[in-house]
Structure 1
Amino acid sequence: MADMIASRIVLAVQDLERSVTFYRDRLGFVEDFATGGWSFLSRGSCRLMIGHCPDTPPASTLGDHNYIAYVQVTDIDDLHQEFSQRGLTPLHIPETKPWGIREMMVVTPDGHRMMFGEEMA
């Protein structure tokens, strides 16, 4: 049986240039490739594909149901400090949850919510 070895987050965005700038400048992703209204970005083993879809309703219209990614990290407090230095204010700062994960949430320009979490030992 084949193993699933990785996943890629795919997002529809209304303004591709604005989104690439956000992921690069605020979240520290690198744009690996761009073609035909799509941009492929990465940071560590996290991969994103963002596509220009101007007719897509903004994720912000979904209220609390617009989560698009949960990204596991090695040091959430260090990541929070990095994001702050990059000019990003998270929606929720790092907080240790009852399930043993320290989490932080950010919101993208299109209103998608990304949760970053570190498992606590």
Structure 2
Amino acid sequence: MEVLSSRVLIRPSDPEASLAFYRDTLGLAIHRTFPGGTVFFLGNGFLELSGTGEGSAGGVSLWLQVRDLAAAAADLGDAVTVLREPRREPWGLDEMWIADPDGVPIVLVEIPPDHPLRTDVRIDVSA
């Protein structure tokens, strides 16, 4: 199987509220629109809001890497539901958990400069 592209699909209970949340509150750029849906750029992927659903997260969550978690938290202010305040997790990432209008958990992550995820595996540091 060859995967050429991918996206996360969300079927919101209130399409207009979700559109406003992802477009205006989070400030995601729109990739394209079509009758009944909007596709947003999501870093290296896409997020599609289309149709309607029951408003349940259904085990789905979004992981969004940000450059500066403190700045992102300040920018969002009281405009989002905060599930967990920003903090350094035991695995070394700085995370803040928020929710979209349907309760879909969104993890905002800043990767600290010294974290192993920032290690360039192409460089042999033992030499």
Where on the TM-score scale, by shorter chain, does this alignment land: which range? 0.7 to 0.9
The amino acid across from 1:19 in the alignment is S
Pick closer, same or farther for the CA change 1:89–1:12 going to 2, 3 Å: closer
Q: Is residue 2:28 matched to residue 1:59?
A: no
Once the two structures are TM-superposed, the CA of residue 99 in structure 1 deviates from its matched residue by: 0.1
More strand by share: 1
- Counterpart CA distance in 1 for 2:85 and 2:45 is 21
Unaligned runs of 5+ in 2: 115-127
| Structure with bigger RCO (C-alpha 8 Å, 6+ apart) | 1
Structure 1 residue aligned with 2:87: 95
Structure 2 residue aligned with 1:21: 20
Identity of aligned residues (%): 26
Indicate the RMSD between aligned Cα atoms, in angstroms: 2.5
Structure 2 residue aligned with 1:40: 39
TM-score where L is the length of structure 2? 0.73
Q: Are the counterparts in 1 of residues 95 and 110 from structure 2 also a CA contact under 8 Å?
A: yes
Q: 1:116 aligns with which of 100, 108, 112?
A: 108
The amino acid across from 2:96 in the alignment is M
Deviations 1:56-82 (A, max 9, x none): 33226x5xxx44211122211111111
TM-score where L is the length of structure 1? 0.77
Pick closer, same or farther for the CA change 1:76–1:7 going to 2, 3 Å: farther
More helix by share: 1
Structure 1 residue aligned with 2:62: 69
Unaligned runs of 5+ in 1: none
